Amino acid sequence: MIGFDQAGKTTILHALGLGKCRVTIPTIGLTVESVTYKNFTLKAWDLGLSTRVQYLWRYIYKDAVGVIFVIDSSDEDLVTDAKDVLWRVLTDLDRLGLETIPLLVYANKQDLASAMLVAEVRDALDLRAITGREWHIQGTAATKEEGLKDGFDWFLTQLNIPGWPSLSS
């Protein structure tokens, strides 16, 4: 899980894994959490976009089965910056032979009046230009737990992990 500081990454992990949102403090560097959702347990790396930890990305996502990119859709300036970061991540994944792992984009903070529409975030990130990789953008309000499960359900259906039960169980 990657995104700028204060985008809602940790809040999303807690809401999905614990079934409830809780007060969080800003992540310094990165955290690793196990998230259990619908009998699936995933190791989630909560990566900020701080330049202090960007050098670690390649080591961490070399074993990734999917990427969740969280964006604060109420900060239009950061959405523009996020496009460059997202495409750099996708390029790095391609170089590692991970060009087909799924991408879920959470357009978070949709409950704020200043939030861009999900379609505007999609266009600002140029998601339609992605080829060879399944992607989905989901509007969310993490503090209200809105949209999180819909996005994560899509994400889980895209993972191709041998031995995992189907979502219908």
**23 pLDDT tier (thresholds 50, 70, 90):** very low
- pLDDT at position 41: 74
The residue ranges of every structural domain in the chain are 49-158
Inter-residue contact 138 to 106 (CB < 8 Å): yes
Q: Rounded distance, CA 19 to CA 94, Å? A: 33
Q: CA torsion sign, 122 to 125 to 128 to 134?
A: negative
CATH topology assigned to domain 49-158: Rossmann fold (3.40.50)
Summarised one tens digit per residue, pLDDT across range 64-106 is 888 999 999 999 988 888 999 899 889 989 988 999 999 999 9
CB atoms within 10 A of CB 98: 18
Give the residue-averaged pLDDT of 34-41: 76
Reported residue count of the chain is 169
Summarised one tens digit per residue, pLDDT across range 99-132 is 999 999 999 999 999 999 999 999 999 999 999 9
